[in-house]
Structure 1
Amino acid sequence: MASAASPLSEPRVLAHAKRRLFPDDADDGYAVVDTQFSSDQWLANESIDPDITDQLAPFNHVRVGSGYPDLIGVRLLSDELLAVDRLGDDPPLVAVEAKGHTNRSAADVERGIVQAYDRLHEANAAYVAVPADTVSQSARTLARELNVGILGVTPDGTVDPVETPRVVGNRTTTETTAIRFQASAQGVADKSFGLNHPKNYLAYPLAVSHRRETEQVLSEYVVRATDDARTGAAFLNLIDDQSASTRLTPLGREVVRFALREYESVEAALKEFDDWKRSRERFCDLVPKWGMLTRRVVYDYPATQLLVEELQHMHEDGMTEPSLPDVVEYLHELHPSFTIELFVRGDDDVRSRVLNADGELQREPLGDGGIYHSPTVFQLKAMLYHAGILTSRGAEPSNLNPPTDEWALRESI
């Protein structure tokens, strides 16, 4: 059996291209590779080196244009990878098709260019990644005409732009939105709320606006895990922590305005937070006004509205007390990429269990709590519970029994 000994098979070409466009040491960006590469077998007689599989993970099956690109991701690219200045400040959605050598033929570069071009209906930039020695002049001409970049890959893993594309505008779909979501500060990839009570995050904008040092105030009145509180506040779009100094977002400023309307000062509001420590009561019942504010904040989170709307539809379809696997299976039919990104951990072994090589959802693994993103099934669910949206609070994946984990609306219409 031939293996990765064929130095520039398609999986290997794609792994090198991914490392070039989405390096592991980059703080920004997010990318997924199509599920066809999650198998340990490539074509009929080629295996995929496990190290290559690790480099390609995470996997998802994301429709872009009329097909499924080999790689789709969001990241600000260096100038040498683009033909002109990028459009605006938002990172582009990048689609990549890869072609490599097989035992029977050389890489089909021109076919890859045409496939990449199809992705420009919804992507901002498209590339074909190929062995550098297969790029002909006619292929370069075709790529320029179709505005497709060519990444030339050498056997030692060097990746150089042979042709660079222009960034274009596009239309956004639910599927591509899932990748933009994961690349944002609100995405759940490699992140966690850390704390499961919304008061810890609502207090952060108050602490930022306090005259004393933020972490000192937060530790005194609310919670000692100030780093987790800061991460969660950014996660919920209450603060912008990307710059040197923390700034309140419009939503964060609204939290401060609410506190000043209800209390004499920010400090007076924070002192009341001290009284709520260790309370097990649902937050919206303990302090209804703060509960309503919590509801507004969590409803602003990109995934909440989708969850609420689809849980309502499940209720209308007679599924009044759906379990976690029920919800994932139902959502996957309607929003496949978003569902996987929101609920399922990005580990290659987890994604390859949940999705087969054709991107089809496998029901059996959904009964294992270990496959789920903690930020969704524990912290986010707990906040939806405290906001009065869901009937039950979340649980850590290690303590989760998915078939009995209920996801039902507290008030269904």
Structure 2
Amino acid sequence: MGSDVRSLSEPQVLAHTKRRLFPDDRTEATRSYAVADTQFAQDEWRPGHRIAPAVRERLAPFNHVQVGSGYPDLVGVGCLESELLAVDRLGDEPPLIAVEAKGYASRGVDTHQGIVQAYDRLHEANAAYVAAPADAISATDRTLARELNVGVLGVDADGAVRPIEVPRVVGNRTTGEATAVRFQASAQGVAEQSFGLNHPKNYLGYPLALAADGETERLLSTHDIVGAAEDARRGAAFLGLIETGPTTELTALGREVVRFGMSECGSLEAALGAFESWYRSRTRFIDDAPAWGRLARRILFAYPATELLVGELQTLYDDWVTEPSLVEFVEHLHELHPSVAIELFVRNDEGVRRRVLTADGALQADALEDGGIYHSPTVFQLKTMLYHVGILTDRGTEPHRLEPREDVWALRHPV
């Protein structure tokens, strides 16, 4: 990426900064998520100034996320190294971080503008930084940054990123579009493998098997609940039924599932046995097992994405769009909740995000006609589960078989 610090462009500065703040070697316990602005997804970030493919790959995924009154170059959520923050945690949640990058251009490096932009992000972010070539950061810049509580990161020619001024964490809560990034960084965010299975019984069965005497995976297989135990474990975690880490533990919601099973069936063993009758059933779960289906419905409605989806489908119904297609639904969501729509429905692949969004974050609607651009956990697994619990009229479809103009997203019982 160049051996002279004066060759560091804005995209290069940002790529080095992202690698330092949000490294790829995170564990499940220290998960993070960050997106670069869509201007960096293009072939050129300025006319005549190309972005190297390796830089784009480092910066991906892309989204156009408003924080404060503008759009940071990088916005992410994660637990940063202690030397990067005056306070390394804020309550029980990792901080929301906004970064403005500045690199060498024809008129030098506008670090002052970067500091002012970063300060604006503190209306919603917990910490904000300006990142720039180290030799372009002046004593005046450092004084202004300290006064405004903006962190300063100096990027060296070899790509090393060092804190020059360290910000204090502030207690702002994310209330706008940045909630999409916080959601994706959480244990319940829509990752490519968040829901590997499309029947809610597979996830309800996991806390029962975990609480019962015996090896969890063997119990799941013995009672024909699910063969893919790891997928069931992951989905149960995404629905908030278990906590994963060095050990797997039931959450309060997971314990309630166990209590329900014992109340409904008399014992844990009997509850596990009840699942055998639903093996490979194609019947809607709430019709197959009404009590369990209602329990699954409450759990799925507590999943953060569900309330938004149901609320916006009701809005469309109120506007006489009773059976919106997937394309119509995503277009509607993007008008009202642009960052959320992209994070929920569009794969975080670099090429896919470049097809779907323009440099200024506008939706390229023709790309929505291709089923391959969609997140399978949303359009297939989550949608099918919402069908099984009686919320949606239609099952989900795998992206490679998906016809977005024909895929209906409608409430079974609109109000």
User: Normalised by the shorter chain, which TM-score bucket?
Assistant: over 0.9
Alignment deviations for residues 192-212 of structure 1 (CA, whole Å, 9 cap, x no partner): 311111100000110111011
- What is the CA distance between 1:42 and its match in structure 2? 1.9
- Alpha-carbon distance in structure 2 between the residues aligned to 1:174 and 1:273: 41
Pairing 1:93-172 to 2, within 5 Å after superposition: 93-102=96-105, 104-172=106-174
Deviations 1:187-231 (A, max 9, x none): 113433111111000001101110111111111111111011000
Q: In structure 1, what is the equivalent of residue 15 of structure 2?
A: 15
Q: Residue 393 of structure 1 aligns to which amino acid in structure 2?
A: R
Give the Cα–Cα distance (whole angstroms) in 2 for the partners of residues 152 and 6 of structure 1. Answer: 13
Could you tell me which of 213, 228, 233 is aligned with 1:230? 233
Tell me how far 1:256 sits from its aligned partner.
Answer: 0.9
Matches of 2:199 and 2:180, distance apart in 1: 26
In 1, are the aligned partners of 2:65 and 2:178 still within 8 Å (CA)?
Answer: yes
TM-score, normalised on structure 1?
A: 0.97
Alignment match of 2:56 (pick from 50, 53, 71): 53
State the 4+ residue runs in structure 1 displaced beyond 6 angstroms: none
Code of the residue aligned with 1:231 in structure 2: it is: R
Query: Are the aligned partners of 2:66 and 2:176 in contact in 1 as well (CA < 8 Å)?
Result: no
Aligned to 2:378: 376
Superposed counterparts of 1:264-343, under 5 Å: 264-343=266-345
Distance in 2 (CA, whole Å) between partners of 1:188 and 1:312 is 22
Q: In the alignment, what sits opposite 1:41?
A: 44
1:404 aligns with one of 403, 406, 410: 406
Matches within 5 A, 1:48-87: 48-87=51-90
Distance in 2 between residues matched to 1:41 and 1:185, nearest whole Å: 35
Contact 1:74 1:92 in 2 (8 A): yes
Amino acid in structure 2 at the alignment position of 1:185: A
1:213 aligns with 2:212: no
How far does residue 6 in structure 1 lie from its aligned partner after superposition?
Answer: 6.7
- 1:87 deviates by 2.4
**Residues 345, 351 of structure 1: 8 Å contact kept:** yes
Deviations 1:227-269 (A, max 9, x none): 1100010011110012x22111111111111111111101101
SS at match of 1:23: coil
**Deviation digits for residues 67-106 of structure 1, max 9, x if unmatched?**
000000000011010123432231000000000001x121
User: Does the residue aligned with 1:73 lie in a helix, a strand or coil?
Assistant: strand
Contact 1:299 1:305 in 2 (8 A): yes
Distance 1:82 1:280 in 2: 52
The range that moved more, 53-62 or 170-179, is: 170-179
Task: List aligned pairs for 1:159-198, cutoff 5 A.
Answer: 159-198=161-200
Against the structure 1 CA distance between its residues 239 and 383, is the aligned structure 2 distance closer, same or farther, given a 3 Å change threshold?
A: same
Q: Secondary structure at the match of 1:349?
A: helix
Counterpart Cα distance in 2 of 1:330 and 1:385: 21
Picking from 9, 28, 33, the partner of 1:30 is: 33
Taking the aligned partners of 2:278 and 2:58, their CA distance within structure 1 comes to 45
**In 1, Cα distance between the equivalents of 2:365 and 2:36?**
21
- Measure the CA separation in 2 of the matches of 1:25 and 1:124: 23
Distance, in Å, in 2 between the alignment partners of 1:397 and 1:192 is 15
Q: Which runs of 5+ in 2 are unaligned?
A: none
Gaps of 5+ in 1: none
Amino acid of the structure 1 residue aligned with 2:55 = I
Aligned-residue CA RMSD in angstroms?
A: 1.2
Shift of 1:156: 0.8
Instruction: State the TM-score, normalized to the length of structure 2.
Output: 0.97
Deviation by residue 1:347-386 (Cα, 9 ceiling, x = unmatched)? 1111111110010011101010000000000000010000
Preserved CA contact (<8 Å) 1:342 1:373: yes
> Aligned partner of 1:263: which letter?
C
| Alpha-carbon contact 2:44-2:51 (below 8 Å) kept | yes
> Relative to 1, partners in 2 of residues 1:144 and 1:6: Cα closer, same or farther, differing over 3 Å?
closer
